[in-house]
Amino acid sequence: MDWLYVLMPIAGIKIFWPGLIILGIGVGIIGGFFGMGGAWMVTPGLNILGFPMAFAIGTDIAHMAGKSLISTMRHGKFGNVDYKLGIIMLVGTIVGFEIGAQMVMWLERIGQVEKYVRYLYLILLALIAWMVFADVAKKKRKEREAAAAGKEVDKLATGLDWAKTLHKIKIPPMVHFKEAQIYCSAWLPIFVSFMTGWLAGILGIGGGLIRMPALIYFVGCPTHVAVGTDLFEVMISGLYGTATYTYKGRTELVAAMIMLVGAAIGAQVGTVATKYIKGYGIRIAFGLCVIGCALSIILKMMAKWFPAYGGVYDGAATVLILGLVSGMSLYIFVRMMAGAKREIAAKKAKAQVSVAR
């Protein structure tokens, strides 16, 4: 069974390469569907396969840049990427990220980094999960009220409307974002991207997990455009992260290439699946992912608080993350296949009708 293992030239360890492809497929599906890089899933996955943590992070970022490019190409064809919005947000993201990273260095020097970063991550995930489900609840209430009044809710109507209030801030320059269908001050996306970049820098993540809901709830993008535009940002910040980590000598390009084989397939599945699932379906699935991520962090913290059961809690966190990745990928894959079958059947029926005429 030696042929199932590849010796990594830089890390100097043998890795089970089918595991890399499976991880790439799973994260490609989830990333293409939610608009995330998936660092919170891939890094522990690579660590489990045998990579030392620094290599797991660097390799993940390298693969994430390539995978996001593939997903962005596909989302772009659907009209889901607002490049103007993405480029404007880059300014805030990079500045915010650097400030966040510098704050981590400062927290490390005063010996407080572990505590603050973990608790900040948990608070943030709880806030995101609350936002998503409060939004879903409010939207359902609007639908019930509309049904009671004998009316129909608009196709683009949403629950939480914070973005509409923020669009009223008229600080020039005012910009029209065509794909996102919003007209607002350029400072709104810059400020939002600065905050998400700052949080990503502190937490050491790509930022998709934070930026995607921020694009929806604060900038006011429709869900599909938030997914596509976020992937565009992840692609660029991923390349920047790749350069940094590779220069530090912590990227295993061979592993990243193997993962990209899987991610190329997964990203297509995840992106095309967004065609068949409406915006709120994506939001609910995202909310569940966020809750799963928060639970895995709590389990990791419990491993530290109760060292006697550390192995059990660590194992449970790993099982939870891998289970979440597998379960979510399978759900998205099944929905994509069902949607694709319906579309192809409808096309055939239409073709037969035209021939009959």
Phi first, then psi: what are they for 195, rounded to 5°?
-65, -45
**Least distance from another protein to the Cβ atom of residue 309, Å:** 31
**Paired tokens of 348:** 């055939």
**Least distance from another protein to the Cβ atom of residue 54, Å:** 8
Nearer of residues 106 and 306 to another protein, judged by Cβ: 106
**Least distance from another protein to the Cβ atom of residue 345, Å:** 11
Phi first, then psi: what are they for 64, rounded to 5°?
-65, -40
**Least distance from another protein to the Cβ atom of residue 279, Å:** 4
Nearer of residues 43 and 68 to another protein, judged by Cβ: 68
Query: For residue 194, what are the contacts with CB-CB under 8 A and spacing of at least 6?
Result: 92, 93, 95, 96
Nearer of residues 115 and 348 to another protein, judged by Cβ: 348
Q: How many CB atoms lie within 10 A of CB 229?
A: 32
One residue of 120, 137, 157, 319 binding another protein per CB under 8 A? 157
Using rule CB under 8 A, residue 260 touches another protein: yes
**Least distance from another protein to the Cβ atom of residue 307, Å:** 26
Binding mask 159-188 for another protein (x = CB under 8 A): ----------x-x---------------x-
HSE (side-chain half, CA atoms, 13 Å) at 59: 32
Measured CA to CA, the distance from residue 213 to residue 124 in angstroms comes to 12
**Least distance from another protein to the Cβ atom of residue 338, Å:** 13
The conformation of residue 280, written as its DSSP 8-state character, comes to H
One residue of 222, 270, 287, 292 binding another protein per CB under 8 A? 222
Report the greatest alpha carbon distance in the chain. 78
C-alpha pair distances (Å), 131 with each of 56, 160, 280: 31, 8, 13
Measured CA to CA, the distance from residue 184 to residue 91 in angstroms comes to 17
**Which residues in 261-320 contact another protein (CB under 8 A)?**
261, 263-265, 267-268, 272, 274-275, 278-280
Binding mask 79-118 for another protein (x = CB under 8 A): xx-----------x--x--xx--xx-xx--x---------
- Do 52 and 11 contact (CB within 8 A), yes or no? yes
**Least distance from another protein to the Cβ atom of residue 312, Å:** 31
Q: How many CB atoms lie within 10 A of CB 230?
A: 36
- Do 179 and 81 contact (CB within 8 A), yes or no? yes
Query: For residue 255, what are the contacts with CB-CB under 8 A and spacing of at least 6?
Result: 8, 11, 15, 20, 46, 51, 59, 63
Binding mask 112-151 for another protein (x = CB under 8 A): ---------------------------x---x--------
**Which residues in 225-254 contact another protein (CB under 8 A)?**
225, 239, 242-243, 246-251, 253
**Which residues in 336-355 contact another protein (CB under 8 A)?**
340, 343-344, 347
Measured CA to CA, the distance from residue 171 to residue 42 in angstroms comes to 40
Nearer of residues 80 and 296 to another protein, judged by Cβ: 80
Nearer of residues 258 and 317 to another protein, judged by Cβ: 258
SS3 350: helix
Nearer of residues 181 and 326 to another protein, judged by Cβ: 181
**Which residues in 10-39 contact another protein (CB under 8 A)?**
10, 12
- Do 61 and 245 contact (CB within 8 A), yes or no? yes
Binding mask 53-82 for another protein (x = CB under 8 A): ---------x--xxxxxx--xx--xxxx--
